[in-house]
Amino acid sequence: MPDRRPLLVTGVTAAASLALVLAAVRWGWLGPDMGRGDGFCEAARPGWVRQPANTWSNLGFVLAGLAVAAHAAHRHRLGLTLGAHPGLATAFAALAVLLGPGSMAMHATQSDLGGHLDLLSMFLVSGFALAYAVMRFLRRGPVVFAAVFVVAVLAGMAVHLRGGSVPVLGHVGNAAFAAELWLAIALEVVLARRPEARQDRWWALASVLTLGVAFAIWTTGTRGHAWCRPDSLLQQHGVWHLLCAAAAYLLFRHYAAERPREREHPAYRP
Q: Which residues are annotated as a binding site for Zn(2+)?
A: 107, 237, 241
Closest CA to 208 of 259, 244, 161: 244
Residues paired with residue 40 on neighbouring β-strands, in sequence order: 222
Whether 50 contacts 108, CB under 8 Å: yes
| Phi-psi domain of 211 (left: phi exceeds 0; alpha: psi -120 through 50; beta: other) | alpha
DSSP secondary structure of 230-248: TT-S--HHHHHHHHHHHHH
Whether 166 contacts 172, CB under 8 Å: yes
Per residue in 6-45, is it b (16+ CB within 10 Å) or e — as a string?
A: bbebbbebbeebbeebbebbeeeebeebeebbbebbbebe
In 3-state terms, the chain is what percent helix, strand and coil (to 5)?
70, 5, 30
Binding-site annotation, residues? 107, 237, 241
Whole-number Å distance between alpha carbons of 42 and 53 = 8
Closest CA to 128 of 65, 45, 77: 65
Task: Give Dmax over CA atoms of the chain in angstroms.
Answer: 64
Whether 256 contacts 78, CB under 8 Å: yes
